[in-house]
Amino acid sequence: MSRIGKNPITIAEGASVTHEGSIITVKGKLGELTQDIDPSVSVKIDDNIITFTRESDHKDHRSKHGLYRALVANMIEGVTKGYSKKLELRGVGYRAATQGQNLDISTGYSHNIVFDIPTEIKVVAETEKGKAPIITISGCDKQLVGAVAARIRAERKPEPYKGKGIRYVDEYVRKKAGKTAAS
């Protein structure tokens, strides 16, 4: 039994949900998201409550039951509150700057790396003297925000000896001991 799939979703203030065929559309102040729902999961919208039911207890149907409930709940939260991730650039000379929908980062390579950011995502690069530059990625689509953050982080992952690289602000990087001289 899917405990997640059984939980009803309360539609937040400022969000509107429509269900046409197998497509659910969620609109809010931060944007509009759509999701295609598998036919094995049925959706029922009453007043401000959305419930999901599955047609059988088959393993595939059980997994999709919880999946679509979680996706729609994330869509509602995304269009009302939004999602954001913060990345920190640790290293001497590491810099970040934004120009429109482009993010330009300098992380110790011989050239700067330029990322084309999707239009649904907003990226802000903050640089304070004496502190590591911070890149804030925000938007209404949880999956897209996470994917863009992961793509930027993958360009220079934090290394375990000095801790240099691009990391999430709340990420802990375990440091290794370096080589010791033979005596």
Q: What is the CATH number of domain 3-80?
A: 3.90.930.12
pLDDT score for 94: 92
Going by pLDDT thresholds of 50, 70 and 90, the confidence category of residue 1 is very low
| Domain limits, the chain | 3-80, 83-168
Going by pLDDT thresholds of 50, 70 and 90, the confidence category of residue 20 is very high
pLDDT score for 179: 84
pLDDT score for 111: 94
pLDDT tens profile 32-54? 999 999 999 999 999 899 999 99
Burial of 54 (0-12, 13-18, 19+ CB in 10 A): buried
pLDDT score for 182: 66
Is it true that 3-80 and 83-168 share their CATH fold? yes
Q: What is the CATH number of domain 83-168?
A: 3.90.930.12
